[in-house]
Each structure stands twice: as C-alpha cells, then as structure tokens.
Amino acid sequence: MSFQLPDLPYAYEALEPHIDSLTMNIHHTKHHNTYITNVNGVLGGENGAPIKGLSLEAMQGAVSTLPDNIKTAVRNSGGGHYNHCMFWTVMGGVGTANSAPFGELKEKIDGTFGALDEMKKLFNTAAATRFGSGWAWLCVAEDKSLYITSTPNQDNPLMTGIADKPGTPILGLDVWEHAYYLKYRNLRADYIAAFWNVVNWDKVVENYESALSGGTAVFDVPLA
C-alpha cells in the first residue's frame, strides 16, 4: 500500500479571488505531495511495519504509540497528508455549496457559541494566534460537544496523546505561510477572513454527521 495525491474537487482557480490559483497549485502539487512522498517512504522502509495496514485516519491516532525511529516522520508527514486531504474538501467555489451551516450543525453552533459569527470570531482568534505554522480546527469532542482549538505544525486533534484536546475535526484551516503568503504576504488575518467565503458547509455538515456516529471527516484517500 502507498498513498497517492488526491485530485482537488475543483479547479485551482475556483477559489479566486479569495485564495489564488498559483498558491493552490503549489500547495497541492508541491507541499501536499511532499508529505505523501515522505510518509510513503516510511511505509516502504524497513521500519514501517507498525503503520502498515493502517488507514490514514487510524495512523493519526497511533502516532503517540509509534517507535521513536518513525514517530516524527509519521506525525509530520502522515499528519500533513491527513490535514490536507481534509482541507481541500472543506472548501469550494463561491456559490457551489451552502454559504452557512444548516440542520443539526447550525443548531449546535448556535447553542454552543451563540451564533455563527461568534464561532467565527473564536476560530479566527485560534488561527491568528497560532504561533508559527499550524492549523485551526472546529471539532466534535467525545461527548459530542463542539469546540475550537489549534495545533502546531501538522498535528491534528485525532492525535491522542499529542493533541492538547483530542477530538474529531470537522473543519480545518491551514495557517502555514505557504497557504497564503503569495497573495496575503504577512497579513494572516486577511487570509483567515477570506477563508469564510470559500467554506463548503455541505461538507462540514457531512463531517459533523459522521463524527456524531463515531466516524471522522469524509474524504477519499487514494491508494496505489
């Protein structure tokens, strides 16, 4: 088994003007592809036995238990692969999906945070204040409550034993500089604000429903 780069569910230019096509192309074909190459290197190497046969999701939860000789590589590159597979799917071109949460997720957001705008403020703060590189997440906790968190580098809340608050992410935002610097330079807050224009709430709702039933975010993980 080896992982392959998934196709984007839209063209590179589909998120314009909020996220530019050149950034999307480089982010997908270079950065994401490098994570795949590196985790495949572990899978195919002499030390890869502990992760052989694991799904990408299961690999996240196993990171803290892995031997030291592969733990960092799987944490960084396996995490990077998972995070990006999810990231691409929670975005979509303007007008291609619902522009706001709906159904049970809307009710849960309103009940937890007061309103969507209040949730966005907390999420934006988590993304803006993540020092250095990392991610901001909207997650479902074990007790089915919603919460917002951030993680460094390519960590994610599925990494039990590593994440400050483990849970199931249903929406994530990449705040590594390579995700926004060509267009937004050092203005991370502007990039974060623009992100809400391309959130695919249909997918976030699907992820929420999956999390409630004990699953994880819904996306394809192509294998060779």
- Could you list the residues known to form a binding site, using ranges: 27, 84, 174, 178
> Residue 172 has which token pair?
């994530």
What SS3 state is found at 84?
Answer: helix
Could you tell me which of 197, 7, 4 has the C-alpha nearest to residue 93?
Answer: 197
- In a 13 Å sphere around the CA of 6, the CA atoms on its Cβ side amount to 17
Distance, CA of 118 to CA of 218 (rounded, Å): 26
By CB atoms closer than 10 A (0-12, 13-18, 19+), residue 220 is: exposed
Binding-site entries for Mn(2+): 27, 84, 174, 178
Give the Cα separation of 107 and 112 in Å (integer): 8
Instruction: Give the other-Cβ count within 10 Å of 1's Cβ.
Output: 12
